[in-house]
Chain A
Amino acid sequence: QQPVQSPQAVILREGEDAVINCSSSKALYSVHWYRQKHGEAPVFLMILLKGGEQKGHEKISASFNEKKQQSSLYLTASQLSYSGTYFCGTGEVGMRFGAGTRLTVKP
């Protein structure tokens, strides 16, 4: 079962904040976050593990609510370079990715 992401798209001005949500109908043990720029491969941003451990990006943070089977990615003081499509991925063996959230940051 694929995780569900929201919103599908968001447009920001530089310096604004955004939150991207990811939810699953199955119990989550970890959540991965990736960013993909147009025409390029996805790039790893962050892993959140059951128990609260996080590994990843310095300027992007995330939360993981195991009980609600949800994760949120927080992009603060957005920069032009944050533009791209963000995917969450779940699954212990064999990743399932959400459909993506397209983020556009304008000057």
Chain B
Amino acid sequence: NAGVTQTPKFQVLKTGQSMTLQCAQDMNHNSMYWYRQDPGMGLRLIYYSASEGTTDKGEVPNGYNVSRLNKREFSLRLESAAPSQTSVYFCASSERVTYEQYFGPGTRLTVT
């Protein structure tokens, strides 16, 4: 089992460019999450999907959109990237929202 996979691993964008971060899990989990982690800080929840067909805002949703494409896949889109969005982005999944979460390897995004 691959667990949680994310693509790409690294990305450099210019201010104003758009991109989509992809996440997939093969554990048949119902819930999926997107976090960002800034240097020396904890994880902040951007959006989550408690189950297929639902998405909800987390702590820091501004500037992002998400799509729960199917049970396996949950994508994060930056419509117009800003330097403040430079961060490491982690996708995670869990069987249910209160259960332990399994994290992907992360995407390191730099916006210049």
A99 within 8 A of B: yes
Pair A96/B101 contact, Cβ less than 8 Å: no
Interface residues of A in 22-56 (CB under 8 A from B): 29-30, 32, 34, 40-44, 47, 55
- Take A47-B100, A55-B100 as given contacts and tell me if A96 and B45 are in contact as well, using a CB distance cutoff of 8 Å: yes
The answer to whether A97 and B103 touch (CB under 8 A), given A41-B90, A92-B97, is no
Q: Establish whether residues A94 and B90, one from each chain, have CB atoms under 8 Å apart when the complex forms.
A: no
> CB-nearest residue of chain B relative to A99?
B42
Contact assessment for A44 and B97 in the assembled complex, using a CB-CB cutoff below 8 Å: no
How far does the alpha carbon of A89 sit from the alpha carbon of B45 in the complex, in Å? 11
Could you tell me how many residues of chain A have their Cβ less than 8 Å away from some Cβ of chain B? 23
A44 touches B102 (CB 8 A): yes
Min Cβ gap B19→A in Å is 20
The answer for the CA separation of A98 and B47 in the assembled complex, in Å, is: 17
Shortest Cβ gap from B91 to chain A (Å): 9
Min CB distance A79 to B, Å, is: 22
Q: How far does the Cβ of A71 sit from chain B's closest Cβ, in whole Å?
A: 15
Q: Which residues of B contact A30 (CB under 8 A)?
A: 98
Residues of B near A40 (CB, < 8 A) are 105
Instruction: Tell me if B103 and A41 are in contact (CB < 8 A).
Output: yes
